Amino acid sequence: MSRVAYVNGRYLPHTGASVHIEDRGFQFADGVYEVCAVRDGRLIDEHPHLRRLHRSLHELKMDWPVGEPALRHIMRETVRRNRVTNGLVYVQISRGVAQRDHGFPAPGTKPTLVVTARAIAVEKYDQWAKKGVAVITLPEARWARCDIKSTGLLANVLAKQQAREKGAFEAWFVDRDGFVTEGSSTNAWIVDAKGVLRTRPLSNQILPGVTRGEILPLCRQLGIEFDERPFTVEEARNGREAFLTAASIGVMPITAVDESKIGSGAPGPVAIALGETYWSSRSDG
Ligand code: PDD
């Protein structure tokens, strides 16, 4: 079955789906995006993802390409047309097409909207989660507005590639003071040596992860002590557990940071409990 993409009002086979060469997304990475998980054909955490999309557009002074109800319909229709039961749906919006010039195009220029969906092998992620994954650390190399889900992801792309070349799943960015900000496409967490769950508080330096935001109330529910406080690489290495969160992976336990074993070297109980509770609370609707 050929995959189908929504592009500016039309559902097209991927082979014939394209945007203009002067699209500002291509020319300047002048755009934003969202990624929502699909489980059993349903969109997971759709509302917080759309809230964040609204914020990203607002921060970049971009217009909605279509109304929110229409976008929700397009996301569902793209999932349906691609027959995705378990997978991901991507929404990409750019500031539209205009003759190349750094300044914004003329008011009224229509933003570009692309929606795609693809299946993922959930079993593969489950297997990784059972074993745990490795991360490497790299100096923070991104811009000062990491809170915006912009398509300008070059530093993230380079970091992920370095991780892959070292056989790791993810790269953690580390700020000038030695504190972990987040992963190239995930939020970062540890259970420190005292057993307290730590993750960096929201600021311009990290993406306000939807999964992160949904996990925190689950900690309360499960009686897990947590503190939104930055942690160093050293604290991660000496901690009991570490894990990653993102829409694409849920909760992914980490068993090594820069080749140092974390805790027992196996996924920890907090990561496992949060992962199970996260997915089961989503399937309850
Ligand atoms: N990445 N931090 C960064 C830099 C991210 O790119 C992401 C998501 C997250 C986690 O956010 P959320 O829980 O809302 O997925 C944190 C997506 C999955 C991506 O770029 O594919």
Q: What are the tens digits of pLDDT across the range 72-105?
A: 999 999 999 999 999 999 999 999 999 999 999 9
d(CA 94, CA 96): 5
pLDDT in tens, 18-52: 999 999 999 999 999 999 999 999 999 999 999 99
CA torsion sign, 165 to 167 to 173 to 175?
negative
78-110: string of b/e by CB count within 10 Å (b at 16+)?
bbeebebeebbbbbbbbbbbbeeeeeebeeeee
- What single DSSP character describes residue 10? E
Pocket of ligand 1 contains residue 205 by CB under 6 Å: no
d(CA 212, CA 77): 27
Residue 68 CA to ligand 1 centre (angstroms): 21
Alpha carbon nearest to ligand 1 atom 3, residue: 185
Pocket of ligand 1 contains residue 46 by CB under 6 Å: no
Q: Which residue of the set 149, 160, 166, 194 is catalytic?
A: 149
Ligand 1 atom nearest the C-alpha of 247 is 15
Pocket of ligand 1 contains residue 210 by CB under 6 Å: yes
pLDDT in tens, 56-71: 999 999 999 999 999 9
User: Which domains does the chain carry?
Assistant: 4-120 (3.30.470.10), 125-282 (3.20.10.10)
Q: Active site includes 149?
A: yes
pTM of the model: 0.97
Pocket of ligand 1 contains residue 257 by CB under 6 Å: no
